[in-house]
Amino acid sequence: MQQTADTILNVKGLRTVFRVRAGEVTAVNGIDLSVAAGETLALVGESGSGKSVTSLSVMRLLTRKIGTIAAGSVQLRRKDGRVRDLVSLSEDEMRSIRGDDIGMVFQEPMSSLNPVYTIGDQISEPIRIHRWADRKSAMDAAISLLDSVGIPDAARRVKQYPHELSGGMRQRATIAMALACDPTLLIADEPTTALDVTIQAQILDLLQKLQRERGMAMLFVTHNLGVVAEIAHRVAVMYAGRIVETGPVAEVFRKPKHPYTMGLLASMPKLGDATRMKQAGEKLTAIPGVVPSLMNMPTGCAFEPRCRFATEDCRKTVPPLFDVDAQHKSRCIHWQEI
């Protein structure tokens, strides 16, 4: 997607490295992505593919002296219309953006909520910091936010601590905290993983409702293709630190052009599969092998050791992203044959 006046986030050539005893390893390797106002881009892949590192890089929340952005730009269109490259900003400038222009919902609400502060204190904090609101005004706003995310009896809930809420209510509270200052971009890092399927559906419906009301851009990180089909407009499939396929969700799901995407889709169980497969003595489809170690990456295509379409040419160089059409791209030299 090309940058337009509606583009909120535009990432170009992002490369993130981590320093370990054996040297440096590249966790995110030259990725490009963009998200427009009112749009949801899903970042999907197995554990270790670089999804969460990408979101932490955008937020500049990498562990100091260990993880660093080695190259690329992360351009954000702020509320006032100015476009800033987050990579070049100081830590003080980033603090003014986190919680204001960008909100983030983390995977496990108990790790993102402080157990010794009330829900109200934690939701009202960004309002007091970024809006210079007094305590009463900020707490009134927190009550309104809890009400907007579907928590009943919000005036009582703001006085409670995280351990007094259920998992679903805690996640709703973290969403309220992320939206406290009406951000232009919301990053949701696997926000439904720790929840049961019924609560997952409620949280997804809530995020879609809030996005429609606020018109914000959303970067949704997940490993669940079912969630991608439910919530996203476009999808970027990551593998070993690179985007291997990207395009509109319907097109990528209907006509995948990368073997890894095909494997992910084939491994999704369908309604009725359990009974049929048990009767036939079959097993669920799985992608053979594992994601390669960052310390020992293949010289060519990173997916080559696990790919049934691999040839000698796949082992020579890392393939570029080929244009399947104007919006659909695949990092596979055999995409036309597939």
d(CA 138, CA 126): 9
Q: Which residue has the tokens 């003080």?
A: 92
Q: Is residue 284 part of a domain?
A: no
- Cα separations in angstroms, 224 against 43, 54, 139, 154, 235: 10, 17, 36, 31, 12
Q: Which residues, at least 6 apart from 23, have a Cβ–Cβ distance to it below 8 Å?
A: none
Which two tokens mark 174? 């973290």
94 and 1, same domain (yes or no): yes
Range of the domain at 133: 109-182
pLDDT by residue for the chain (338 residues), tens only, comes to: 455 669 999 999 999 999 988 788 999 999 999 999 999 999 999 988 999 999 999 999 998 889 999 999 999 999 999 999 999 999 999 999 999 999 999 877 777 899 999 999 999 999 999 999 999 999 999 999 999 999 999 999 999 999 999 988 999 999 999 999 999 999 999 888 777 888 888 989 999 999 999 999 999 999 989 899 999 999 999 999 999 999 999 999 999 999 999 999 988 877 666 666 666 666 778 899 888 988 889 999 999 999 999 999 999 999 999 999 999 999 999 999 88
137 and 190, same domain (yes or no): no
| Domain end position, chosen among 159, 182, 205 | 182
5 and 86, same domain (yes or no): yes
60 and 146, same domain (yes or no): no
Q: Is residue 175 part of a domain?
A: yes
